[in-house]
Amino acid sequence: MPKELKFPNNFLWGASTSAYQIEGGIVCDWSEWEKKNNKRLAEQAERYWSPAQQKKFPEMFDPENYLCGQAMDSYNQFNEDLACIKELNLNAYRLGIEWARIEPEEGKFDRKEIEHYRQILQKLRDNNIKVVLTLWHWTMPLWVHDQGGWANKKTVKDFCQYSELIVKELGGLIDYWITLNEPMMHIGHGYVTGKFPPNKKFSLKNIYVVFKNLVKAHEDVYKIIHKNFPEAQVSIAMTTGFPEPACKWNIIEVIMAKVAYYFRNDWFLHRVGKFIDYIGVNYYHHDRIVWYPPFKKNLNEEIDDRGWELYPEGIYYVLKGYKKYQKPMLILENGTADADDKLRARYIKDHLKCIHRAIQEGADVRGYFYWSLLDNFEWAEGYWPKFGLYAVDRKNNFKRIARPSVKAYAEICQTNKVVID
Ligand code: BGC
């Protein structure tokens, strides 16, 4: 007998995107960084990816793969995206606003772009789709980059000014706010591994300054939003993960896993303390931590195209871990890179099963957003990883093509339940 897992009434069923990864035609720190680094990224592909990945995605050796360009042309094709959202029976959608479009030059705000976003948000409202809006998803205007990005205290003030304008102009059309997407990822890849702009490696001085400025930026924008909309729901989309010791009797691995868990899941939240109304959870990973380099050794019985091990139980532990904050939670990203769509439907169901279990045990989860609605520009990996429920034919007028898993997810969203065979 199939078992039915019902989700709470008014549960939000959504999909997520970010501005830079789908809109196209944006000039910002990333667009300039790619142009300087795309050849290097193509040359290094052999070093980073397995022979199987290299064989399956030869485009990783093509420098063009690392240039965002027109992305998925969502700037011009929002109606197409909306058709996908409706086909999926979603009642919520997460999207981003691009700071570089709104304020391409310091202090010069572009009214035309504000109106562009207003139209999109209004269409979502007209279709009864709740909006989760991200104000900053890793990219910044060139002038902000040139003044030192988040390592410069002035950026906090500038971010507040941009955010205040958005709040005043568009705030009435927003249901849930995200000030910052995965600040720890920006710190980790921007200032520790050097994989993302501004490419700093183990820059200890910067790490703490950037952390402090990001915390302050969140707090100040939180206050601005609440001053204008006292009932607003404001949060951060947190990079979460479930690091666990490979051997639970090995005290060093136990401690290392605890430290990794704290930095990934809790450090930022502890610092912003009371300035959050809900917790935004992005979950993709678990890692088995070992005491010797490279410090993780996953079983990898089943991995996706990106090489990430499928480990749905991890989301259960993350949600249980977040219960201590006594806040509602939204899963704002959960997804898999799966070009052949062999794993996706099961991936979604298996994660929802674990989320349902956490809800049964008291976790106040109010919604689930799959990453991503469309295939998109996957940052330093470029275009080869395919996270989308919809593929996009970038050579044929960016046509959106439903993958088979669309049907499975659309049914879950429509019925508010998961059927387990
Ligand atoms: C980011 C997304 C990204 C996804 C998959 C998340 O950490 O927020 O922008 O596309 O991971 O790589």
Tens digit of each residue's pLDDT (9 = 90 or more) over 116-130:
999 999 999 999 999
- The pair of structure tokens assigned to 306 is 């990106």
- The pLDDT score that the predictor gives to residue 273 is 83
Write down the pLDDT at residue 120: 98
- Rounded to whole angstroms, how far apart are CA atoms 397 and 399? 5
- Residue 417 CA, ligand 1 centroid: distance in Å: 26
Ligand 1 lined by 338 (C-beta under 6 Å): no
Distances 400 to 86, 374, 406 between C-alpha atoms, Å: 13, 8, 12
> How high is the pLDDT of residue 289?
97
CA 284–ligand 1 middle distance (angstroms): 9
Annotate 368-417 with three-state secondary structure. Answer: EEEECCECCCCHHHCCCCCCCCEEEECCCCCEEEECCHHHHHHHHHHHCE
pLDDT < 70: residue spans in the chain: none
Pick left, alpha or beta for residue 374 (phi over 0 → left; psi -120 to 50 → alpha; otherwise beta): beta
Are 81 and 373 in contact by the 8 Å Cβ rule? The answer is: yes
Q: Which atom of ligand 1 is nearest to the CA of 378?
A: 10
Q: Which token pair is 54? A: 């290299």
Q: State the amino acid at position 111 in one-letter form.
A: R
CB of 80 closer than 6 angstroms to any ligand 1 atom: no
The rounded Å distance from CA 1 to ligand 1 centre is 37
Q: How far is the CA of 277 from the centre of ligand 1 (A)?
A: 23
DSSP letter assigned to residue 11: -
Q: Is the CB of 378 under 6 A from ligand 1?
A: yes
Q: What number does the ligand 1 atom closest to the CA of 182 have? A: 8
pTM here? 0.98
CA distance 247 to 306: 25
Ligand 1 center to 225 CA (angstroms)? 25
pLDDT of res. 261: 96
Nearest CA-CA partner of 370 in 343, 393, 394: 343
Q: Any bridge partners for residue 420, and if so which?
A: 3
Best residue among 236, 378, 386 to mutate for probing ligand 1, ranked by most atoms within 8 Å of CB: 378
pLDDT at 348: 98
State the pLDDT at residue 240.
Answer: 96
Nearest Cα residue to atom 10 of ligand 1: 378
Q: How far is CA 236 from CA 176, 210, 218, 335, in A?
A: 10, 16, 8, 18
Helical ranges in 290-372 per DSSP H = 313-322, 344-360
Q: What pLDDT is recorded for position 285?
A: 87
End-to-end C-alpha distance for the chain, whole angstroms = 7
Please report the beta strands in 150-278, taking only residues with DSSP state E, as ranges in sequence order. Answer: 176-181, 234-245
Ligand 1 centroid distance, CA of 8 (Å):
27
Residue 185 CB–ligand 1 contact under 6 Å: yes
Is the CB–ligand 1 distance for residue 332 below 6 Å? no
Ligand 1 centroid distance, CA of 185 (Å): 9
Predicted confidence (pLDDT) per residue in 383-396, tens digit: 999 999 999 999 99
Q: Which of 379, 383, 387 is the pocket-test mutation for ligand 1 (most atoms within 8 Å of CB)? A: 379
User: How many A from CA of 389 to the centre of ligand 1?
Assistant: 15
pLDDT at 218: 98
Give dist(CA 156, CA 221) in Å, integer. 9
Rounded to the nearest whole angstrom, what is the distance from the C-alpha of residue 201 to the centroid of ligand 1? 21
pLDDT digits (tens, 9 = 90+) for 331-368: 999 999 999 999 999 999 999 999 999 999 999 999 99
Task: Using most ligand atoms within 8 A of CB, pick from 371, 378, 381, 386 the residue to mutate for ligand 1.
Answer: 371
Residue 226 has what pLDDT? 98
146-165 residues labelled b (16+ CB within 10 A) or e (exposed): eebbbbbeebbebbbebbbe
Phi, psi of 171 (to 5 degrees): -55, -35
